[in-house]
Structure 1
Amino acid sequence: MAPEPLLVTSAALLGLLVGSFLNVVVHRVPRGQSVAFPPSACPVCDHRVRARDNVPVLSWLLLRGRCRDCRARISARYPLVEAGTAVAFAVVTAVVGLDWSLPAWLYLTAISVALALIDLDVHRLPDAIVLPSYPVSAVLLTVAALADHRPSALLGALLGAVVLGGIYLALHLARPDGMGLGDVKLAGLLGLHLGWLGWGELAVGGFLAFLLGGLVALPMVLAGRAGRSTALPFGPFMLAGAFAALLAGDALVGAYLDLAGL
């Protein structure tokens, strides 16, 4: 078994590399472009990015945030996404540990970064990311269940996907303008992972999405910056709620039960 610090450090380094790729995903997927071709290039002078200038975070710092060829500014979002993904990978790995389910959680972490940024940018959760994630996550969790001899966890994952996806579908049917189909599809995927953890974590993740969304929307409404018809991307709140449940769901459930005297 790898030492915990080495495991977390390795996950962080992997996160840096994944974060670099996610920058491409976030830019190209909403535009319907291939993430594999053509290679990355400066949008101003169209010069291809050299390999030495494509090292996560470090290259941006050495170039002082500018293109090597035309000196055009390179957005600070690129190194922030890379560093943020590295931190997210490290935190998730520290929480999950050296477990067979870790690849499934790291995969969810990666696509969550991309989906949150895309939803903030264009108010969409692309099917090109969400739908393929169902079979990928199902395979990863099935492998984990078989390796760990945990068929009940796999059953919980499947039920979680049905329950959370069903709740969001009902909300969409009741008010299509308030809950998009993209949110419904994402809910099933998040339910798959939260159901793996347990019913308590599923409830916490589902509840926190609406709580966080309300905490952000209410001040905007009170300040006159948003109204009932204002469209706010809900995907980031769903994702934040799910990861909060992963990180602290068990403690939150325990605190609630103690408060309720159960």
Structure 2
Amino acid sequence: MTLLITILGLVIGSFLNVCIYRIPKGKSVIYKPSNCTSCNTNLEILDLIPLISYILLRGKCRYCGEGIKVRYPLVEILTGGIFLITYLYIGFDVLLIKYLVLFSVLIVATFIDLDHQIIPNKLVFLIFTWGIIWQIFYPELFWYQSIGGAILGGGLLFLAAIISRGGMGGGDIKLMFAAGFILGISATALALFLSFLAGSIIGMVLILLRIKGRKDPIPFGPFLSLGIFIAALWGYEIIKLYLKLMF
């Protein structure tokens, strides 16, 4: 089963690459066939086998010879790994669907934010709608916990945006509002803490390596996605350990 889940993740990762490329351009992710972004040639099945095609083609389009971005196999591997980790933690349970979809959307949001410094509203709306559907038909939390998580997530980042005078983007605020609805109050607080911690560490490293300047913008969406991922799977254990150590 672990192999099947990993393969499914690789296949979904290939589709997520399409979403990452097309959504910011306003293109359909379903109706138009996959094509080379350099020569626009429609790709055949042999060109679209997740990870394997990239290796066999040596990272180049077989029609025009242009290099294929390493991001494409990276997203496939990342998605396959996340699917496997999520399955190993949750097991073969209906909630597996809930979190695989959430994490898939977060992967798309992460790479779009890295490329364009935006988090599209349609992705935020998808996460929020997904959370409402599960809250109605298969709730893990009380409604006050979901609503409180949304208010906490969006509210704290909105406050951060005011204090930093625009240093926090509107997409980040809306993303954390939607994710907070799924996570609940405690897990949302943990996700925010982990996001700011990871963002601070990576930001300092980038500045020390002179990859970024002190005033250069650094997309925060990837750090939010990381915090949400960790809090969604291990939030209860982390919070429980923290309380045990503190009290």
Do both proteins adopt the same fold according to a TM-score greater than 0.5, normalized to the shorter chain? yes
| Cα distance change of structure 1 residues 252 and 169 upon mapping to structure 2, 3 Å threshold | same
Name the residue aligned to 1:161. 150
- State the SS of the aligned residue for 1:84: helix
Count of aligned pairs: 247
Name the residue aligned to 2:100. 106
Is 1:251 the counterpart of 2:237 in the alignment?
A: yes
In 1: Cα distance, 2:151 partner to 2:219 partner: 23
Out of 34, 42, 47, the position equivalent to 1:40 is 34
Instruction: Assess if the C-alpha contact under 8 Å between 1:67 and 1:74 holds in 2.
Output: yes
1:57-206 matched pairs, under 5 angstroms: 57-145=51-139, 152-195=141-184, 199-206=185-192
Worse-superposed segment, 129-138 or 177-186: 129-138
In 1: Cα distance, 2:207 partner to 2:67 partner: 35
- State the SS of the aligned residue for 1:164: helix
In 1: Cα distance, 2:38 partner to 2:73 partner: 19
Worse-superposed segment, 12-21 or 94-103: 94-103
- For each residue in 1:181-240, what CA deviation from the matched residue of structure 2 results, as whole angstroms up to 9, or x when unmatched? 111100112212221xxx432321111111111111223445665455321101111111
Deviation at 1:55, TM superposition (A): 1.4
In 1: Cα distance, 2:81 partner to 2:20 partner: 18
Name the residue aligned to 2:17. 23
Report the AA paired with residue 206 of structure 1.
Answer: L
In 1: Cα distance, 2:68 partner to 2:30 partner: 21
Instruction: Assess if the C-alpha contact under 8 Å between 2:150 and 2:179 holds in 1.
Output: yes
Worse-superposed segment, 31-40 or 13-22: 31-40
- State the SS of the aligned residue for 1:179: coil
Name the residue aligned to 1:51. 45
Out of 229, 241, 249, the position equivalent to 2:215 is 229
| Cα distance change of structure 1 residues 52 and 219 upon mapping to structure 2, 3 Å threshold | closer
Instruction: Assess if the C-alpha contact under 8 Å between 1:101 and 1:141 holds in 2.
Output: no
In 1: Cα distance, 2:152 partner to 2:43 partner: 45
Deviation at 1:156, TM superposition (A): 1.9
Instruction: Assess if the C-alpha contact under 8 Å between 2:128 and 2:179 holds in 1.
Output: no
Deviation at 1:123, TM superposition (A): 0.9
Worse-superposed segment, 18-27 or 50-59: 50-59
| Cα distance change of structure 1 residues 96 and 176 upon mapping to structure 2, 3 Å threshold | farther
| Cα distance change of structure 1 residues 133 and 249 upon mapping to structure 2, 3 Å threshold | closer
| Cα distance change of structure 1 residues 229 and 22 upon mapping to structure 2, 3 Å threshold | same
Report the AA paired with residue 190 of structure 1.
Answer: A
Report the AA paired with residue 187 of structure 1.
Answer: M
Report the AA paired with residue 29 of structure 2.
Answer: V
Report the AA paired with residue 96 of structure 2.
Answer: L
Instruction: Assess if the C-alpha contact under 8 Å between 2:149 and 2:186 holds in 1.
Output: no
In 1: Cα distance, 2:109 partner to 2:77 partner: 17
Report the AA paired with residue 63 of structure 2.
Answer: D
Task: For structure 1, list consecutive stretches of 5 or more residues without a partner in the other structure.
Answer: 1-5
- For each residue in 1:147-205, what CA deviation from the matched residue of structure 2 results, as whole angstroms up to 9, or x when unmatched? xxx5x44442232112211221222233342111111100112212221xxx4323211
Deviation at 1:115, TM superposition (A): 0.8
What's the C-alpha RMSD, in Å, of the aligned pairs?
2.1
